[in-house]
Amino acid sequence: MTLLAVERIKLFTTRSPWWCALLTLLITIGFAALIAGTTDSGVGTVASTQFGYSFGLAVIMVLAALAVTTEYRFGTIRTTFQAVPNRTSVLLAKAGVVGLLALVIGEIAAFGSLGISMIIQPEADMALNSTAEWINVVGIGPIYALTAIIGMSVGLLIRHSAGAISLLLIYTLAVESLVGLIPNVGADIQKWMPFHVAEKFLTGDGATRSGMGGPPLSTSPLSPGWALAYFAGFALLMLVIGIGTARKRDA
């Protein structure tokens, strides 16, 4: 508990988490308001309220990466490792705090997006009547939390803010989409890309869209439950690699 308290204090005494949290909420909820305000009256669905979650996801990655790289930049991580030689415990505590913060941000963003859409389109059917619709909204939080762990892990590997953020954004915004364009094998590889699989957890077979447009549906062959497990396993693997690297390097 002491380590968790220390990591919480270190995280919240810097400006970047506050700005990233605010930016995530503004982007996701603002995008939901834009969608609701520009579509025909009564056409909105639960799924359409969450179309902007991927933009907030990118900011969560930045938040998580900065939580680590900023400490390396200013040398505070060295002081922490001197005080607590067990680096694994320190980094697990940091992952817990960053992941929990991302979870809370994700849930606020998801329900905020749903709420603003209901206000703008009160005649639309946006009630959470099915398990798929609940997952579509509540599932944003766990995906944000796991994404934060991935972002933190990349920060541990690279240790430089610009490099870590650039790699994360390029991968999520371009690489997974471009992989599908590779002749013959691209589509098969894309089915197993982590964020492509995470999309399968949130949207399933797309039944909640009820004819609405939006981003392309995931082609992953996994069920939503296994898709979440797959994404969680990838996040855990990245964390293990990140912690293992941090233990071997000089702080």
> Mind listing the pLDDT tens digit for each residue in 160-192?
999 999 999 999 888 888 888 888 888 899 899
Domain that holds residue 100: 2-248
- Higher pLDDT pick, 31 / 216: 31
DSSP assigned state of 212 = -
Number of domains in the chain: 1
Q: pLDDT-based confidence at 74, cuts 50/70/90?
A: confident
At residue 113, the pLDDT reads: 94
Does the pLDDT value for residue 251 go beyond 70?
no
What does the alpha-carbon distance between residue 74 and residue 143 come to, in Å, rounded to a whole number?
Answer: 30
Tell me the percentage of the chain whose pLDDT exceeds 70: 94
Out of 81-85, 155-159, 161-165, 233-237, pick the least confident. 81-85
pLDDT digits (tens, 9 = 90+) for 112-144: 999 999 999 888 888 888 888 899 999 999 999
Q: How many helices (H) and strands (E) does the chain have?
A: 12, 0
End-to-end CA distance of the chain: 23
Does the pLDDT value for residue 73 go beyond 70?
yes
Q: Is 14 helix (H, G, I), strand (E, B) or coil?
A: coil
Tokens of 120: 């703008």
pLDDT digits (tens, 9 = 90+) for 138-156: 999 999 999 999 999 999 9
Candidates 169, 54, 60; CA nearest to 113 is 54
- 11-41 burial code (b ≥16 CB/10 A, e <16): beeeeebeebbebbbebbbebbbebbeebee
Tell me the percentage of the chain whose pLDDT exceeds 90: 56
At residue 1, the pLDDT reads: 60
Rounded mean pLDDT, 55-78? 92
At residue 242, the pLDDT reads: 95
In this structure, are residues 63 and 20 in contact, taking their beta carbons and an 8 Å threshold? yes
Q: pLDDT-based confidence at 241, cuts 50/70/90?
A: very high
Average pLDDT, the chain: 89
CA distances from 132 to 122, 129, 135, 195 (A): 21, 9, 5, 18
